[in-house]
Amino acid sequence: MSVSDKNRASHEQKEALVEDSIRFVWRHGVSATATRAVEGPVAVSGNGVRVTDIDGNEYLDALSGGSAAATLGHGRVDVADAVHAQMTRLHWVSLRTFINEPSIELGRRLAGLTDAGLQTSFFVSSGSEAVETATQLTKSYHRARGNPAKNTFLYRKTGYHGTTLVGASASDNAEFRTWFAPLAPGFVEVDACYPYRRPNGMSEEEYGEACAAALEATVLEVGPENIAGILAEAIPAALVLVPPANYLRRLREICDRYDILWIDDEVFIGVGRTGRWFGFQHFGVSPDIVTSSKGITGGYVPLGAAIASSRVMDTIFGDQAGGQAKVAGHTYAAHPTACAAGLAVLDAIEKEDLVGNAERVGEWMIDEFSRIYADHPNIGDVRGKGLLIGIELVQDATTREPFARDLAVGRKVMDRAMENHFMLRASGDVITLFPALVTTSADAAAMVTATCRAIDEVLGEL
Ligand SMILES: Cc1ncc(COP(=O)(O)O)c(C=O)c1O
């Protein structure tokens, strides 16, 4: 067979694979047409911060696998060994029948990561389940205190909390809100805290205060006697909204004043990404419940957790009148193999100081973008914490006027980067990067160059 015959045959095989994938695997977020147009792409292997497709193309991955989970990068033999050892010893038994050692050890380790009083983990298999479990725990807490009417949840504009009915009902996602209607009752939207978009002339601190005042006004309008909790990421990841220093302190005060639990959804940012184990640690405040997934197992095996504080658990465990608190129990809750993967991931993060690495490398990248784009007319803002980085593209950096929506500038940058074999994301016109915690200085420099290339090419063509 000649070389060109072989190439044709392999191209035909790939086309067949793509067609089968469209037929047999429901793919979220990407249409069949787009999958066909870019022939997948079909990933076949990964190593560190690089993913290789079926044609041998290598993609530099600034997205930790695409959705922020591969925090240790790809191809870690230590995690695979831990998973293999656990699977061949005891792959799974139901939590209903047995307790198991890896889950106890992982729960203990998570509780010890911060001094925030976080204590008890309810292990599930995804971020959406962690969020839903957190809302159930919150209801149990209020029932145990004799306040069953407290069952409404606040969530914030631009927030994302998953795809179960509860997650979708607590997410500002227009498509979900239409597709999944009718949504769950008892979810009320409040404004996001978006410092770059604060009113002219207002300081960050004044803005943090104003956001908190607006939150408190909504609490009073809905009635504190009805409100169970607020779902709020310490640093909302989609648009990289690092809040003013005072905002979460004020949110905490409001929660305490009206007996509202703060569910800090750290599914995206938790377990090291922001240069701390958890994002809330940047702000000197502690939530009542933290949700985690993605980074907890570095994406090697699905796992999620709702981690409740001792204060919440003491209240629930003290509920003798109500009997056992009600939280959903899943078949795969506290899956021993997933928890063994989690333990191996925590070992690696600690041994290799990856939280520190995220802080150092992330800071360098943010400084570098800020330097390169200091006077660029279309770069409105560079922001981030650790390896969660956002670059907001605008029509006019002096007035902060956004680009017209139909220009789809962010989308074009994301597509161009992928054509250049580089993975970044766009949320509207905010370009986001969330590389693995193992990103080296050399990887980071390559990511900065590739990001600027995609942005500059697209802006140059407008
Ligand atoms: C903040 C946040 N919460 C919840 C979820 C849902 O997690 P999953 O996709 O694992 O269900 C996500 C997913 O990206 C997330 O970023």
pLDDT score of 269: 98
pLDDT score of 29: 86
Q: Is it the case that residue 196 has pLDDT exceeding 90?
A: yes
Q: Is it the case that residue 72 has pLDDT exceeding 90?
A: yes
- Of 319, 351, 383, which residue constitutes the final position of a domain? 351
Preceding amide of 402 cis, omega within 30: no
> Are 221 and 153 in the same domain?
yes
pLDDT score of 3: 63
Residue 304 CA, closest ligand 1 atom number: 10
Choose the weakest-confidence range: 126-140, 305-319, 358-372: 305-319
Q: What is the mean pLDDT of residues 374-400?
A: 98
- Residue 331 half-sphere exposure, CB side, CA atoms within 13 Å? 0
> Are 283 and 363 in the same domain?
no
- Of 292, 319, 351, which residue constitutes the final position of a domain? 351
Q: What is the mean pLDDT of residues 143-160?
A: 96
> Average pLDDT of the chain?
95
Domain assignment of residue 29, yes or no = no
Q: How many CB atoms lie within 10 A of CB 225?
A: 11
Number of structural domains found in the chain: 2
- Residue 291 half-sphere exposure, CB side, CA atoms within 13 Å? 31
3-state secondary structure of 391: strand
pLDDT band at 427 (very low <50, low <70, confident <90, very high): very high
> Are 203 and 144 in the same domain?
yes
Domain assignment of residue 244, yes or no = yes
Q: Is it the case that residue 102 has pLDDT exceeding 80?
A: yes
Is the CB of 128 inside a 6 Å radius of any atom of ligand 1?
yes
How many Å lie between the centroid of ligand 1 and the Cα of residue 204?
28
pLDDT band at 138 (very low <50, low <70, confident <90, very high): very high
> Are 217 and 318 in the same domain?
yes
Minimum CA distance residue for ligand 1 atom 5: 162
The pLDDT tens digits for 2-29 are 666 767 668 889 999 999 999 999 998 8
Which of the listed residues 67, 128, 269, 303 should we mutate to test ligand 1's pocket, taking the one with most ligand atoms within 8 A of CB?
128
pTM equals: 0.96
Preceding amide of 182 cis, omega within 30: yes
Domain assignment of residue 18, yes or no = no
Is the CB of 155 inside a 6 Å radius of any atom of ligand 1?
no
Q: Are 258 and 207 in contact (CB under 8 A)?
A: no
| Whole-number Å distance between alpha carbons of 90 and 194 | 47
| Whole-number Å distance between alpha carbons of 148 and 151 | 7
Residue with tokens 């033999």: 77
Q: Is it the case that residue 153 has pLDDT exceeding 90?
A: yes
Name the strands in the sheet holding 187-190, side by side, starting at the edge strand that comes first in the sequence.
Answer: 118-124, 304-309, 289-292, 261-265, 227-231, 152-156, 187-190
> Are 62 and 200 in the same domain?
no
> Are 322 and 371 in the same domain?
no
3-state secondary structure of 382: strand
> Are 192 and 56 in the same domain?
no
The pLDDT tens digits for 277-330 are 999 999 999 999 999 999 999 999 999 999 999 999 999 888 655 556 667 789
Domain of residue 405, residue span = 41-75+354-461
Minimum CA distance residue for ligand 1 atom 8: 127
> Are 214 and 128 in the same domain?
yes
pLDDT score of 339: 98
How many Å lie between the centroid of ligand 1 and the Cα of residue 407?
28
> Are 238 and 174 in the same domain?
yes
Domain assignment of residue 206, yes or no = yes
Q: Are 139 and 151 in contact (CB under 8 A)?
A: yes
How many Å lie between the centroid of ligand 1 and the Cα of residue 128?
6
Domain assignment of residue 48, yes or no = yes
Domain assignment of residue 17, yes or no = no
Domain assignment of residue 306, yes or no = yes
Is the CB of 176 inside a 6 Å radius of any atom of ligand 1?
no
Domain assignment of residue 20, yes or no = no
Give the strand pairing for 152-156 and 118-124. unpaired
Q: Is it the case that residue 1 has pLDDT exceeding 70?
A: no
Q: What is the mean pLDDT of residues 198-214?
A: 98
Is the CB of 237 inside a 6 Å radius of any atom of ligand 1?
yes
> Are 59 and 196 in the same domain?
no
**Domain containing residue 192: CATH number:** 3.40.640.10
pLDDT score of 328: 72
How many Å lie between the centroid of ligand 1 and the Cα of residue 266?
9
> Are 286 and 392 in the same domain?
no
> Are 82 and 71 in the same domain?
no
How many Å lie between the centroid of ligand 1 and the Cα of residue 124?
13
| Whole-number Å distance between alpha carbons of 387 and 360 | 9
pLDDT score of 449: 98
- Of 305, 323, 351, which residue constitutes the final position of a domain? 351
Helix residue ranges per DSSP H, 281-408: 310-317, 336-351, 354-372
Q: What is the mean pLDDT of residues 178-199?
A: 96
Q: What is the mean pLDDT of residues 234-262?
A: 98
**Domain containing residue 410: CATH number:** 3.90.1150.10
